[in-house]
Amino acid sequence: MRLSPRIQATAEPAIPAARAWAARYAGQAGPAVDLTQAVPGYPPHPALLEQLSRAAGDARLAGYGPIDGDPVLRAALAADITRFYGAEVSAADVAITAGGNLAFSMVMAVICGQGDKVALPTPWYFNHQMALTMLGAQVLPLPCLAEQGFVPSAAEARALLAAGARALVLVTPNNPTGAVYPPALIADLAAACREADAWLVIDETYRDFLSVAQSPPHALFADPAWRDHVVHLYSFSKAYCVPGHRVGAVVCGPAFRAELVKALDTWQICPPRAAQHALAWAVPALLAWRQANRDLMASRAEAFRRAVAQLPGWRLDALGAYFAYLRLPEDAPDAMAAAETLAAERGLMCLPGPFFGPGQQRHLRLAFANVGLEAIAEVPARLRG
């Protein structure tokens, strides 16, 4: 039987592949340490769990809701964006989605199709590349090098836009490297997209973990024309510790939104309603809790930095948000073999660089945010040798 060539051309899911290596681990180095998938290493706030339970039992929320999300969450997120970025965004600019990955897939379906070019900085978030492959789009890699802090070159981005890219995708703080793109660079790239009549799609899933000194991360929303060329993506999964409830968001202008609603209606009908109502309460109510978690993640990042400093030959090329991007020693095998050995023989699960695009054979991504300080302290022993 014939199957879709686009799906067949799409890479295998990365997380299950890495965890399959760990299935061979016999426990000889101690309990397994899973640093593969980016999940909050602490539970949701107890009051949020109560809100989720209450909303799940509300018969009014068992039926269909608006395809672009319930107004109460759209308004709450718009107010939070206005507070965080210091520029007004309204509920009319917000569409709620069934998770961040679906948000990206629907946005890219609005922008591009078979054969259209999209500039994607590499190392890239693998699900972004997979989604574009499924759409039949042509991915144009935009190299981000360690010696440049894993941020893209504005000149190279402009060259890809001149070559016909219909969109430039940015993820900041970055997955997989943790790199944070400077505000001036983001402004430059936004201007380049506007000049090229292309879309800037900026995924800020991890923006709640930026330090106070890094906030606001850009001034895009202060430009009255942002709605004509910028699309912003957000996820509630990390900041509120609810990845299983699948709630994300798209922030865009009216012309883009008019086309996006077609994808919303077809692919999601409506986002999960109970979670929306619980999160609408949480967005303002748990602000102090979110800020404390930001500081907690910063402490884990610093603990990871200290841990890796104990390892001669290893190089911490980038660190931020949830992630460390670690360069293997010169005498170590390439990343695929190293990651498999670490998982199968030492119980340390991480993702090899090639999962994140070309030129990443000497790097591993470790999601240090998944675990507490005791597990982070175990990392040097697992990596040593």
pLDDT in tens, 192-204: 999 999 999 999 9
Parallel, antiparallel or unpaired: strands 351-352 and 348-349: unpaired
Superfamily of domain 5-43+288-383: Aspartate Aminotransferase, domain 1 (3.90.1150.10)
Least confident of 37-41, 123-127, 307-311: 37-41
Residue 89 is predicted with a pLDDT of 98
Name 366's Cβ contacts closer than 8 Å, sequence gap at least 6: 35, 304, 323, 324, 326, 350, 351, 379
**96: three-class secondary structure by DSSP:** strand
pLDDT surpasses 90 at 341: yes
**Residue 41: which pLDDT band, with cuts at 50, 70 and 90?**
confident
pLDDT surpasses 90 at 1: no
Residue of 385, 359, 300 lying closest to 150 (CA atoms): 359
Residue 376 is predicted with a pLDDT of 96
Name 287's Cβ contacts closer than 8 Å, sequence gap at least 6: none
**Average pLDDT of the residues in 320-333:** 96
Stated as kind and residue range, the H or E segment containing 277 is helix 273-285
Whose structure tokens read 């692919």?
Answer: 267
Q: How many C-beta atoms surround the C-beta of residue 201 within 10 A?
A: 26
**Average pLDDT of the residues in 58-70:** 98
pLDDT surpasses 90 at 98: yes
Name 300's Cβ contacts closer than 8 Å, sequence gap at least 6: 41, 368, 369, 371, 372, 373, 376
Parallel, antiparallel or unpaired: strands 248-251 and 315-320: unpaired
62-285 is a CATH 3.40.47.10 domain: no
HSE at residue 345, side-chain half, CA atoms within 13 A, is: 10
Handedness of CA 342, 294, 318, 303 (dihedral sign): negative
- Which DSSP state fits 286? T
**62: three-class secondary structure by DSSP:** coil
Its pTM stands at: 0.96
**252: three-class secondary structure by DSSP:** coil
Whose structure tokens read 């679906």?
Answer: 102
pLDDT surpasses 80 at 385: no
Within its chain, how far is the Cα of 185 from the centroid?
A: 19
Whose structure tokens read 């190392």?
Answer: 123
CA 338 – CA 280 distance, rounded (Å): 43
CA 319 – CA 74 distance, rounded (Å): 32
Residue at 11: amino acid letter:
A
- Arithmetic mean of pLDDT over the chain: 96
Query: Hey, what are 138's tokens?
Result: 């042509």
Residue of 188, 126, 115 lying closest to 151 (CA atoms): 188
pLDDT in tens, 259-271: 999 999 999 999 9
First to last CA, the chain: 48
User: Would you list the domain boundaries of the chain?
Assistant: 5-43+288-383, 62-285
pLDDT surpasses 80 at 339: yes
CA 241 – CA 41 distance, rounded (Å): 8
Query: Hey, what are 233's tokens?
Result: 């993506």
**Average pLDDT of the residues in 79-103:** 98
CA 82 – CA 171 distance, rounded (Å): 20
Q: How far is CA 203 from CA 251, 267, 360, 381, in A?
A: 10, 20, 21, 35
